[in-house]
Amino acid sequence: MKLLKGRDIDAFIQRFESRRLQVSREVETAVQNIIQQIKQRGDEALFEFALKFDQVDLSSIPVKVPLQDLQSAYDELDSQLLKVLKQARDNIKSFHEKALPQSWLSWEEDEIVLGQRVMPIERVGIYVPGGLAAYPSSLLMAAVPAQVAGVKEIVVVTPSDADGNINSTILAAAHELGINQFYRIGGAHAVAALALGTESIPRVDKIVGPGNIYVATAKKILFGQCGIDMIAGPSEVLIIADVTANPVYVAADLLAQAEHDPLASAILVTNNEMLAETVLDQLSEQMQKLARSEIISQSLSHYGAVIVVDTLEEAIDLSNRMAPEHLGIHCDSAWDVLAKIKNAGAIFLGHYSPEAVGDYWAGPNHVLPTNGSARFFSPLRAQDFLKVSSVIRYSKTALDQHGEAIQCFARHEGLDAHAASIAKRMIP
């Protein structure tokens, strides 16, 4: 990890932006084939892909996890961890309940009624990643907002090991949430099964949750067949820090991000070179004591940086340009900096608000826009599990009053039938 100034900053940003999801033709072709096979052959293809990619034989193990397995995992879970899961769930629930949109109707003059009707999506699929690590927190972050929104049917998929085993904490969390449709399947084939439906797995209306490049590509291709949350890429954190920042805290937060993945990006932007040098020393010292130091080292060397700029304003401008997934503000004037931030997924204010608080506990979602997409995407919210219908009611008096204007507009666009549908109602 290097200290960067001047022209070196632009070169780093280009490398950072190169992480953005650029699907190779080979990956896209492979995913297209998987989707087509699932569409044509359903479970038969699904089980073949499970054997091929995960080495799990679903002809001898049920793809749907029995409810008693969820119950057993729950009963055997460490009591302290169970207490933590419950409190985290309550925190997430409380946060998302505060922002639910409501149905409304407005009675205008001449008996015109306008409004919106807000309804939950009926069936949602949640993809919980497996592989290098298991993330029960991802299940909470996706399922709880869906439940707050009123979704009645939640279908969870996650990859198992070759023996069909799934992380017991994820199973216990599912039981605590009351989820009764849980499937031991992962990868692009699981996404295809959710979007298209098979004999074993019901078709859903929307798929949420992060995954690898094959999962992300499948979601992208299948968007329109069902809804999706976003196309997730490698994770990132950017920290803006001034002279008041504690270098021990800053380094710890950068390392916490870097341990996710070799493609993860951890960036410090500061107007204080002494702080930058001290953070570099702290990174080297703290990393040696961490279990995932090899992954951290790869992440920091490829996509990590300590950037020194002249002013705090430059740091803010750089952050807005990069639109980070996670933004830490380690400044004495954190609230003033916040007022100037335009693009960020989640913002962590002050010296005692590490990213891990948001990952597990505070309540705001940790499913966030990555790779600069915070310019136009938002964190996963309860609103993402709702759909809105417009409500329009015109009286005869109102239609007579506005009908000529509507017909004028319709005829201007060459749509005579539209105009006629108004005119026929205006005949005395």
Catalytic one of 260, 325, 330, 355: 325
Cβ-based neighbour number of residue 81 at 10 Å: 13
Q: Is 236 a catalytic residue?
A: no
Catalytic one of 326, 330, 351, 366: 326
Instruction: Compute the distance between CA of residue 18 and CA of residue 20 in angstroms, rounded to an integer.
Output: 5
Tokens of 235: 């994770």
Q: Is 260 a catalytic residue?
A: no
Residues 6+ apart with CB under 8 A from 328: 237, 238, 239, 240, 241, 250, 253, 348, 353, 354, 355
> Would you say 38 and 198 are in contact if contact means Cβ atoms under 8 Å apart?
yes
Instruction: Compute the distance between CA of residue 111 and CA of residue 325 in angstroms, rounded to an integer.
Output: 47
Active site residues: 325-326
